[in-house]
Structure 1
């Protein structure tokens, strides 16, 4: 234990000897002097915690000594106890306390009282020093936390930039595939061709789901993920997943079986996209890890209450199974049951992690049982509200969107497939379109011609869409400061949309976008209704 320094100041050596005998103990250092000036030097040079000061001394009395100590920042926190043999008149005690003392003792000293008081002050000093020490430690921890927070923030920004760039690079070609599929769907097709186009559309959306999985995981970790519930045809949702994965099952000669409870409700209130994701991942995994036999999707009612029903979705396979020691590991991000899994079967190790997170966000429960070399069963259970008396969902032919009249649009897009698609779509709506490949060319074209609206891609060479939009809003092109600008990008992070708005964009569309949404935006921002609209 650190020793406490106690200074004794008295002009009579016999008094010092008496006090030293009274206060001597293992946890204190006693320092004494008969000279007030010497006391000042000692207080300055040593870490004095407590000082017992005689009032009456030659050269300088105790009151003057204490006033000097208290006026110096280095010695002002010393706890001073006055010791005096002069009158016990209260005015002297008041004077001493006003000078900064914490107590006033009268000679002859009561040894028990004096010892007890000094003990209490020693304890007070130790407590105060512990507080100071803890505060310094807290300050140090705070600095470390601030540093760690800054590093985490930097890491988050790097991650978001990576995800945004990856999203753009992957979504751009997918946007082309989906766009061409939409154009083909509007042409005259045979029944077989239409079926193939539908499968191509489902496959494209499934491919889009891969990047969405990664983005969803990022949003879940950031607490920005939302569940959007709407009327959902339960059996149709299950059929859509099965039909998409049936081809993969046939390639491996696997039987893909469905078993539905006879009393299943037709329509429930659910987030169909997230339910689709859960089933896609569970059934897709089962097919991936099954070489012979079958994969079964079973949907049954596990409970009822009022207008709600508890549904249990079970996916059972006859695959390789999972060792008991590895079951918990499969739900971790980028983890798989075995180090050779990716080599032998492929995959990112994201699927089950996302299923687990989605199940928790939806308020459901995900369980697994498995036996090595015999197969696995994954079960997802959740409560859903049953919706009744809703009209039958029927697949409608693609709606033909009405043409516009006297609408001219400037398109800034560098990807040749996307350029072809958007021009084809705009011409189909009787819209005149000029196309440029970067933001600088867009500014030059805007200076030469009048347009009703600008469709600006975000990521472009030479000058990106955000820079060009900002220059337009700053009046770089005379008379065009307020022209409507819609940016579109394959990056879908919240920060990307925020950046576009801050640059001055009137609206933001994420690729791939629905044609109906683009048609509506053009009508909204040009103020021109389509013919017959």
Structure 2
């Protein structure tokens, strides 16, 4: 039984509905593929076109000849556009526009100028075929072989449509039917069926093409991932090479700078061990503190490298907090003497003196903050105030406030404070210099020590205020606090023209339960005191006030303490006049005060004091040491230290010279080797390896070898130990550190023997 054309159109419409729904679901499942939306819309337009053809009799006038045909053609254009999207290409829009315009113009001509169903049908079929051929051409040209299976299905579908369509066009042009509804021929019905079959093939092709797109994207992503991994691997190799070069540069810079600093600090240590006047000793202490500050700058650069690599370590040890603060404050004495700026240290709220913390890192924090405050303050004062209290976990919270009356920081500059290598602005860099690393390191150190730092207040031309806190442990020492052994006079008076200093001193005495009388030039001679403290920093040395204050104090007190500027040049008669006074220099700290009160106790001691270092050094007397050091200044420093301890020594200027000396000596000629790591001809590492491994030096195979190195980067100590060295002392060499390491190695050697 043959079905009517109308029935076939209805059945095709039902099939197209199914195709449209499947493509819509495919679209929702693959929204990231733009082509799918156009294919889904094309099926919807084709469905709408078939329905319009079915009910075209209900459309008014000439619209029934235009709307159904345009809707169907739009379906083919959407397929074309979607295929270009699948190939990641943009269709040439002017060409497409001209194509659509040509179809519209001819179709209208065949409606109104030359009315003909045959011409309209032929035009529609040829236009649809042209769209599909164009689509296939674009797919073949731009898919680059990505869509092999879907391309074959599309080719099959187009072939069926072209063959059937051409036959139908031929029949329509030579038949009697005026519409497709009226053409009941079997060929016309096969045309409808072929359209339905082609639509199904297109649906299958599009679904497969989506899968092929997915496969291609996955393949591309995999290739990109592989290429990215290769690029990352190469970049990692470059980064490692760069890091290695940077580490080598920093290590070399560390050695080249720390070596002369070792000479400076070592010579100052030797100078301090000689007989010096009080003023000379004060100058050497200031020079020593300044050299240590310079060393701190070098350490800042090295520490920033450690921060970047996450290798910055905190090494807590027992320290006297007040002594550390005094040392830090005194290191700025020379700098302060060159400008009208005063540094005040207020510790009256510090209730925990002996603490377990990293002194190097705390000194680093304080040095950075104070040096910045002093650098940016033209006149006025800088104040360091500290307090301590225990938290609920039993830790001591050490809080410090650093304020100044300097230039202040703008709001824009405040946002850059804790960024590496940044200054507030270009003018600041020109005026004051600096690398911009200080506050970055300070913040990281505070966080590593359980605290933080922040800028709490700053105004331009009025100054700034920083507050930082760290967590430390208290060390309980029974009957060992310095305050327990201090002799504090009952009647103490203070003269100072500086109100801030007066307030700090009054708070310091009050917090310890002592009273303090305040003097001025009018009442200094009215009463008699056990101790009078004179702050003469702001007095004119050539004026009568200076002489009057000293003479009045001497005649109205058992003891006089004079606080003077570090660059003060007292006249000869005044020097002679105050030789019986205790002399201190600004910045005057709580530690100075405690030293003043402990002075009498030390003087009243009947037995002479024996320094711990001297007792310990006695065990090194008679030790025979081979010193390998190529730097002449460092040779002088090291040999003076060894001589003070009664150690016999022989100097070698290179690693090769060490080996030559050992070949000519007996096993008992040396008890120990002090080995510099970087030397000409043969360095300390290679020399040590030969001593440990070569048969020629078998008699010295187990001799203690202590590394003396200016390399202070992470891993340098491990490198020394891996090469066979027994111990490690970094430069600048501290006498106590070297003595302790030598004693430890000697004890270990004797125990093994």
Please give the range of the TM-score, normalised by the shorter of the 2 chains.
0.7 to 0.9
Give distance in 1, aligned partners of 2:272 and 2:708: 23
| Corresponding residue of 1:371 | 459
C-alpha spacing 1:514/1:490, structure 2 compared with 1 (3 Å): same
User: What secondary structure sits across from 2:149 in the alignment?
Assistant: strand
Which 5+ residue runs of structure 2 have no aligned equivalent? 1-84, 89-128, 154-195, 486-594, 596-609
Q: State the Cα deviation string for residues 117-173 of structure 1 (Å, max 9, x = none).
A: 554433222111101001111122222211221121111111111111111111112
Residue 499 of structure 1 corresponds to which residue in structure 2? 719
In structure 2, the partner of 1:469 is: 688
1:245 aligns with 332
1:515 maps to which of 735, 740, 745? 735
User: Do residues 444 (structure 1) and 543 (structure 2) align?
Assistant: no
Instruction: Sort the Cα spacing of 1:427 and 1:233 in 2 relative to 1 into closer, same or farther, 3 A.
Output: closer
Q: Which whole-Å CA distance do the structure 2 matches of 1:302 and 1:446 have between them?
A: 58
> Following the alignment from structure 2 to structure 1, what is the Cα–Cα distance between the partners of residues 431 and 199?
84
Whether 1:204 aligns to 2:204 is no
2:442 aligned with 1:223: no
CA, structure 1 residues 273+150, in 2 after alignment: closer, same or farther (shift >3 Å)?
same
8 Å Cα contact 2:404/2:465 also seen in 1: yes
Whole-Å separation in 2 of the counterparts to 1:471 and 1:356? 45
1:413 Cα deviation (Å)? Answer: 0.7
Change (3 A) 1:476 1:203: farther
Q: Hey, what's the Cα distance between the residues in 2 that align with 1:275 and 1:31?
A: 72
Change (3 A) 1:297 1:158: same
Deviations along 1:500-520, one digit per CA (max 9) or x if unpaired, are 333332333211233344334
CA contact (8 A) 1:474 1:481 kept: no
Listed one character per residue, the Cα deviations across residues 340-397 of structure 1 (whole Å, up to 9, x for unaligned) are 3344234333222221222222232222232112211122134445555553259994
The answer on 1:489 being equivalent to 2:691 is no
TM-score by length of 1: 0.74
CA deviation after TM superposition for structure 1 residue 281, in Å: 1.2
Question: Aligned partners of 1:362, 1:432: CA distance in 2, in Å?
Answer: 43
Question: Retained in 1: the 8 A contact 2:150–2:209?
Answer: no
SS of 2:732's equivalent? coil
SS of the residue 1:411 aligns to: strand
Q: How does 1:337-348 map to 2 (within 5 A)?
A: 337-348=424-435
**1:31 to 1:527, Cα distance in 2 relative to 1, 3 A:** closer
What is the match of residue 283 of structure 1? Answer: 370
**Contact 2:407–2:460 (Cα < 8 Å) also in 1:** yes
User: What whole-Å deviation, never above 9, does each CA across 1:435-466 have from its counterpart, x for those lacking one?
Assistant: 12111212111111133332221111222222
- C-alpha distance in 2, partners of 1:121/1:413? 79
For the pair 1:274 / 2:365, whether they are aligned, the reply is no
Moved more, 491-500 or 379-388: 379-388
Indicate whether 1:458 and 2:547 are aligned.
Answer: no
Deviation at 1:306, TM superposition (A): 5.4
Measured at CA, do residues 28 and 357 of structure 1 come closer, stay the same or move farther in structure 2, by a change above 3 Å? farther
3-state DSSP of counterpart to 1:214: helix
2: CA distance between counterparts of 1:409 and 1:470?
19
Quote the Cα distance in structure 1 between the aligned partners of 2:327 and 2:347: 14
CA contact (8 A) 1:3 1:28 kept: no
**Which 5+ residue runs of structure 1 have no aligned equivalent?**
5-20, 33-44, 55-108
Give the alignment partner of residue 402 of structure 2, picking from 307, 310, 315: 315
CA RMSD of aligned residues (A): 3.6
Separation of aligned partners in 2, 1:27 and 1:363: 69
Q: 1:392 aligns with which of 476, 481, 485?
A: 481
What displacement does 1:248 show?
2.1
> 8 Å contact 1:301–1:312 — kept in the other structure?
yes
Moved more, 127-136 or 301-310: 301-310
Equivalent residue number for residue 136 of structure 1 = 223
The corresponding residue for 1:145 is 232
Higher strand share: 1
How many pairs align?
450
Cα displacement string for residues 169-213 of structure 1 (whole angstroms, at most 9, x for unaligned residues)? 111122122222333333344443433333333222222211111
1:423–1:387 CA distance, 2 compared to 1 (3 A): closer
Mapped partners of 1:508, 1:269: distance in 2 = 23
Whole-Å Cα distance in 2 between the matches of residues 179 and 461 of structure 1? 22
Residue pair 1:523, 1:529 contacting (<8 A) in 2 also:
no
Question: CA contact under 8 A between 2:386 and 2:399: conserved in structure 1?
Answer: yes
Superposed displacement of residue 417, structure 1: 1.2
Deviation at 1:419, TM superposition (A): 0.9
State the distance in 1 between where 2:397 and 2:625 align. 51
Relative to structure 1, the CA distance from residue 483 to residue 48 in structure 2 (aligned partners, 3 Å threshold; closer, same or farther) is same
TM-score (norm. length: structure 2): 0.54
Give the CA deviation at 1:428: 3.2
Greater Cα radius of gyration, structure 1 or 2:
2
Which deviations, in whole Å up to 9, do the C-alpha atoms of 1:5-52 show, x marking residues without a partner? xxxxxxxxxxxxxxxx9xx799777999xxxxxxxxxxxx95563289
More helix by share: 2
1:41 maps to: none
Corresponding residue of 2:647: 431
1:259-290: CA deviations, max 9, x gaps? 34546433444333222221221111111111
Name the CA shift for 1:27/1:277 in 2 (closer, same or farther; >3 Å). Answer: farther
Report what 1:415 is aligned to: 631
**Residues 304-338 of structure 1: CA distance to partner in whole angstroms, max 9, x if unpaired?**
53534544322111111122112222332232223
